[in-house]
Chains A and B, each alone.
Chain A
Amino acid sequence: ETGVTQSPTHLIKTRGQQVTLRCSSQSGHNTVSWYQQALGQGPQFIFQYYREEENGRGNFPPRFSGLQFPNYSSELNVNALELDDSALYLCASSSEILAEGAHPAFFGPGTRLTVL
Protein backbone atom coordinates (compact mmCIF):
# COMPACT_ATOMS: atom_id res chain seq x y z
CA GLU A 1 0.00 0.00 0.00
CA THR A 2 1.52 3.33 -1.06
CA GLY A 3 0.67 6.77 0.24
CA VAL A 4 -0.60 7.94 -3.13
CA THR A 5 -4.33 8.54 -3.21
CA GLN A 6 -6.59 9.45 -6.11
CA SER A 7 -10.14 10.68 -6.42
CA PRO A 8 -12.67 9.89 -7.59
CA THR A 9 -12.41 6.13 -8.00
CA HIS A 10 -14.81 5.99 -10.92
CA LEU A 11 -16.28 8.63 -13.16
CA ILE A 12 -18.71 8.61 -16.06
CA LYS A 13 -18.83 11.56 -18.45
CA THR A 14 -20.27 12.24 -21.87
CA ARG A 15 -18.39 13.26 -24.97
CA GLY A 16 -17.49 16.96 -25.01
CA GLN A 17 -17.54 17.38 -21.24
CA GLN A 18 -14.61 18.32 -19.06
CA VAL A 19 -13.19 16.33 -16.15
CA THR A 20 -10.80 16.96 -13.25
CA LEU A 21 -8.99 14.13 -11.53
CA ARG A 22 -7.09 14.56 -8.28
CA CYS A 23 -4.01 13.02 -6.74
CA SER A 24 -2.28 13.31 -3.38
CA SER A 25 1.39 12.41 -3.40
CA GLN A 26 3.19 10.15 -1.01
CA SER A 27 4.65 12.11 1.88
CA GLY A 28 8.02 13.61 1.03
CA HIS A 29 7.56 13.28 -2.73
CA ASN A 30 7.63 16.45 -4.82
CA THR A 31 7.28 14.95 -8.29
CA VAL A 32 3.98 13.81 -9.72
CA SER A 33 3.42 12.05 -13.01
CA TRP A 34 0.17 11.14 -14.72
CA TYR A 35 -0.37 8.11 -16.90
CA GLN A 36 -3.23 6.85 -19.05
CA GLN A 37 -3.80 3.10 -19.13
CA ALA A 38 -6.21 1.95 -21.79
CA LEU A 39 -7.71 -1.51 -21.52
CA GLY A 40 -5.14 -4.18 -22.31
CA GLN A 41 -2.29 -1.70 -22.58
CA GLY A 42 0.56 -0.52 -20.44
CA PRO A 43 0.40 2.92 -18.86
CA GLN A 44 1.31 5.80 -21.16
CA PHE A 45 3.02 8.90 -19.83
CA ILE A 46 0.90 12.06 -20.03
CA PHE A 47 3.05 14.60 -18.19
CA GLN A 48 5.02 15.23 -15.04
CA TYR A 49 5.09 18.05 -12.52
CA TYR A 50 8.06 19.00 -10.41
CA ARG A 51 7.82 21.78 -7.86
CA GLU A 52 4.59 23.07 -9.43
CA GLU A 53 5.90 23.26 -13.00
CA GLU A 54 5.35 20.91 -15.91
CA ASN A 55 8.56 19.00 -16.44
CA GLY A 56 8.10 16.69 -19.37
CA ARG A 57 5.12 15.77 -21.50
CA GLY A 58 4.16 12.72 -23.50
CA ASN A 59 2.30 12.53 -26.78
CA PHE A 60 -1.01 13.94 -25.56
CA PRO A 61 -2.90 16.94 -26.96
CA PRO A 62 -3.16 20.27 -25.12
CA ARG A 63 -6.67 19.48 -23.92
CA PHE A 64 -4.86 17.36 -21.32
CA SER A 65 -3.55 19.81 -18.74
CA GLY A 66 -2.48 19.69 -15.15
CA LEU A 67 -1.58 21.52 -12.01
CA GLN A 68 0.60 20.84 -9.03
CA PHE A 69 -0.05 22.64 -5.77
CA PRO A 70 2.40 23.80 -3.06
CA ASN A 71 1.59 20.71 -1.01
CA TYR A 72 2.59 18.65 -4.09
CA SER A 73 -0.91 17.34 -4.73
CA SER A 74 -1.95 17.45 -8.35
CA GLU A 75 -4.84 17.67 -10.77
CA LEU A 76 -5.31 16.32 -14.26
CA ASN A 77 -7.82 18.18 -16.40
CA VAL A 78 -9.18 16.89 -19.66
CA ASN A 79 -11.31 19.14 -21.85
CA ALA A 80 -13.61 18.20 -24.72
CA LEU A 81 -13.70 14.55 -23.75
CA GLU A 82 -13.59 11.96 -26.51
CA LEU A 83 -14.66 8.33 -26.42
CA ASP A 84 -11.01 7.24 -26.64
CA ASP A 85 -10.28 9.04 -23.39
CA SER A 86 -11.98 6.18 -21.57
CA ALA A 87 -9.19 4.63 -19.53
CA LEU A 88 -7.67 4.19 -16.10
CA TYR A 89 -5.77 7.34 -15.13
CA LEU A 90 -2.85 6.73 -12.84
CA CYS A 91 -0.96 9.16 -10.70
CA ALA A 92 2.56 8.37 -9.56
CA SER A 93 4.75 10.23 -7.14
CA SER A 94 8.48 10.13 -6.65
CA SER A 95 11.20 12.08 -4.95
CA GLU A 96 13.67 14.51 -6.43
CA ILE A 97 14.52 14.28 -10.08
CA LEU A 98 18.25 13.80 -10.30
CA ALA A 99 20.46 14.19 -13.29
CA GLU A 100 21.27 10.50 -13.29
CA GLY A 101 17.64 9.55 -13.62
CA ALA A 102 14.56 8.46 -11.87
CA HIS A 103 13.72 7.38 -8.45
CA PRO A 104 11.08 4.68 -8.44
CA ALA A 105 7.57 5.91 -8.92
CA PHE A 106 4.86 4.89 -6.51
CA PHE A 107 1.45 4.58 -8.08
CA GLY A 108 -1.99 5.35 -6.81
CA PRO A 109 -5.01 3.11 -7.40
CA GLY A 110 -6.20 5.13 -10.38
CA THR A 111 -9.40 6.75 -11.53
CA ARG A 112 -11.50 4.79 -14.00
CA LEU A 113 -12.95 7.27 -16.51
CA THR A 114 -15.72 6.18 -18.86
CA VAL A 115 -16.73 8.52 -21.66
CA LEU A 116 -20.12 7.81 -23.25
Chain B
Amino acid sequence: AQSVSQHNHHVILSEAASLELGCNYSYGGTVNLFWYVQYPGQHLQLLLKYFSGDPLVKGIKGFEAEFIKSKFSFNLRKPSVQWSDTAEYFCAVNARAGGGNKLTFGTGTQLKVEL
Protein backbone atom coordinates (compact mmCIF):
# COMPACT_ATOMS: atom_id res chain seq x y z
CA ALA B 1 0.00 0.00 0.00
CA GLN B 2 1.17 3.51 -0.71
CA SER B 3 1.64 6.24 1.88
CA VAL B 4 2.47 9.94 1.73
CA SER B 5 4.42 12.06 4.21
CA GLN B 6 4.31 15.81 4.38
CA HIS B 7 6.93 16.96 6.82
CA ASN B 8 5.85 20.53 7.39
CA HIS B 9 2.49 20.76 9.14
CA HIS B 10 2.46 24.52 9.56
CA VAL B 11 4.47 27.06 7.59
CA ILE B 12 4.43 30.82 8.07
CA LEU B 13 6.05 33.06 5.46
CA SER B 14 6.16 36.72 4.63
CA GLU B 15 4.96 37.90 1.24
CA ALA B 16 7.59 37.52 -1.49
CA ALA B 17 9.40 34.76 0.38
CA SER B 18 10.15 31.54 -1.45
CA LEU B 19 8.21 28.40 -0.64
CA GLU B 20 9.13 24.76 -0.65
CA LEU B 21 6.81 22.13 0.80
CA GLY B 22 8.12 18.63 1.18
CA CYS B 23 6.32 15.50 0.05
CA ASN B 24 7.66 11.96 0.15
CA TYR B 25 5.78 8.87 -0.81
CA SER B 26 6.22 5.21 -0.19
CA TYR B 27 5.32 2.80 -2.96
CA GLY B 28 7.32 0.28 -4.93
CA GLY B 29 5.68 0.78 -8.29
CA THR B 30 4.98 3.60 -10.68
CA VAL B 31 2.85 6.42 -9.37
CA ASN B 32 1.00 9.49 -10.49
CA LEU B 33 1.57 12.49 -8.24
CA PHE B 34 -0.61 15.45 -7.39
CA TRP B 35 -0.71 18.58 -5.32
CA TYR B 36 -4.09 19.88 -4.22
CA VAL B 37 -4.85 23.15 -2.47
CA GLN B 38 -7.74 24.01 -0.18
CA TYR B 39 -8.29 27.74 0.28
CA PRO B 40 -10.25 28.80 3.37
CA GLY B 41 -13.90 27.93 2.89
CA GLN B 42 -13.35 26.40 -0.53
CA HIS B 43 -13.15 22.89 -1.93
CA LEU B 44 -10.02 20.99 -2.83
CA GLN B 45 -8.55 22.17 -6.13
CA LEU B 46 -5.88 20.58 -8.28
CA LEU B 47 -2.67 22.64 -8.36
CA LEU B 48 -0.59 20.40 -10.56
CA LYS B 49 0.00 16.80 -11.53
CA TYR B 50 2.75 14.52 -12.72
CA PHE B 51 2.05 11.45 -14.82
CA SER B 52 5.20 11.02 -16.92
CA GLY B 53 7.81 12.95 -18.90
CA ASP B 54 9.56 16.08 -17.65
CA PRO B 55 9.93 15.68 -13.88
CA LEU B 56 9.54 19.42 -13.38
CA VAL B 57 5.88 20.24 -13.70
CA LYS B 58 4.27 23.63 -13.64
CA GLY B 59 0.84 24.27 -12.25
CA ILE B 60 -1.50 27.14 -11.73
CA LYS B 61 -0.69 30.38 -9.90
CA GLY B 62 3.07 30.07 -10.38
CA PHE B 63 3.49 26.80 -8.50
CA GLU B 64 5.80 24.05 -9.68
CA ALA B 65 6.87 20.68 -8.38
CA GLU B 66 9.78 18.40 -9.08
CA PHE B 67 9.53 14.62 -9.12
CA ILE B 68 12.76 13.01 -7.94
CA LYS B 69 12.27 9.30 -8.38
CA SER B 70 15.40 8.28 -6.48
CA LYS B 71 14.22 10.20 -3.44
CA PHE B 72 10.54 9.28 -3.76
CA SER B 73 9.83 12.98 -3.49
CA PHE B 74 7.52 15.49 -5.14
CA ASN B 75 8.22 18.83 -3.47
CA LEU B 76 6.11 21.88 -4.21
CA ARG B 77 7.79 25.22 -4.86
CA LYS B 78 6.93 28.82 -5.54
CA PRO B 79 9.58 31.52 -5.93
CA SER B 80 7.54 34.33 -4.37
CA VAL B 81 4.41 33.72 -2.31
CA GLN B 82 1.47 36.06 -2.02
CA TRP B 83 -0.98 36.63 0.82
CA SER B 84 -3.62 34.90 -1.33
CA ASP B 85 -1.59 31.67 -1.21
CA THR B 86 -2.68 31.19 2.38
CA ALA B 87 -4.29 27.76 2.28
CA GLU B 88 -3.80 24.12 3.12
CA TYR B 89 -1.75 22.09 0.66
CA PHE B 90 -2.07 18.35 0.17
CA CYS B 91 0.24 16.03 -1.68
CA ALA B 92 -1.40 12.89 -3.11
CA VAL B 93 -0.32 9.80 -4.98
CA ASN B 94 -2.09 7.25 -7.10
CA ALA B 95 -0.70 3.82 -7.89
CA ARG B 96 -0.28 3.52 -11.64
CA ALA B 97 -1.15 -0.16 -11.85
CA GLY B 98 -4.52 -1.19 -10.50
CA GLY B 99 -4.90 1.98 -8.50
CA GLY B 100 -7.93 3.10 -10.35
CA ASN B 101 -8.52 6.67 -9.35
CA LYS B 102 -7.79 6.12 -5.67
CA LEU B 103 -5.74 8.93 -4.19
CA THR B 104 -3.68 8.58 -1.05
CA PHE B 105 -3.21 11.95 0.61
CA GLY B 106 -0.69 13.31 3.02
CA THR B 107 -1.86 15.02 6.19
CA GLY B 108 -1.51 18.45 4.65
CA THR B 109 0.56 21.59 5.22
CA GLN B 110 -1.13 24.71 6.49
CA LEU B 111 0.54 27.73 4.87
CA LYS B 112 0.02 31.20 6.24
CA VAL B 113 1.43 34.13 4.30
CA GLU B 114 1.75 37.35 6.25
CA LEU B 115 1.73 40.82 4.73
Q: Which residue of B lies closest to A94 (CB)?
A: B101
What residues on B are CB-neighbors of A72 within 8 Å? none
What residues on B are CB-neighbors of A48 within 8 Å? 100-102
31-66 of chain A: CB within 8 A of chain B: 31, 33, 35, 40-45, 48, 50, 55-56, 58
Chain B interface residues (CB < 8 Å from chain A): 4, 30-32, 34, 36, 42-46, 49, 51, 90, 92, 94-97, 99-108
- Check B99 against A104 for contact (C-beta < 8 Å): no
What residues on B are CB-neighbors of A106 within 8 Å? 46
What residues on A are CB-neighbors of B36 within 8 Å? 107
- Check A56 against B100 for contact (C-beta < 8 Å): yes
CB distance from B25 to the nearest CB of A (A): 12
Q: Which 5 A-B pairs have the closest CB atoms?
A: A42-B105, A107-B44, A101-B96, A102-B94, A102-B101
User: Does chain B have a CB within 8 A of A79?
Assistant: no
CB distance from B7 to the nearest CB of A (A): 14
- Check B103 against A101 for contact (C-beta < 8 Å): no
- Check B103 against A45 for contact (C-beta < 8 Å): yes
User: Does chain B have a CB within 8 A of A113?
Assistant: no
What residues on B are CB-neighbors of A33 within 8 Å? 101-103
- Check B44 against A45 for contact (C-beta < 8 Å): no
Cα A45 to Cα B29 with chains together (Å):
19
Cα A55 to Cα B100 with chains together (Å):
8
CB distance from B59 to the nearest CB of A (A): 11
- Check A56 against B32 for contact (C-beta < 8 Å): no
Q: Output the residue of B94, B95, B102 with the most chain A CB within 10 A.
A: B102
Q: Which residue of B lies closest to A43 (CB)?
A: B105
- Check A104 against B90 for contact (C-beta < 8 Å): no
CB distance from A97 to the nearest CB of B (A): 5
CB distance from A51 to the nearest CB of B (A): 12
Q: Which residue of A lies closest to B43 (CB)?
A: A109
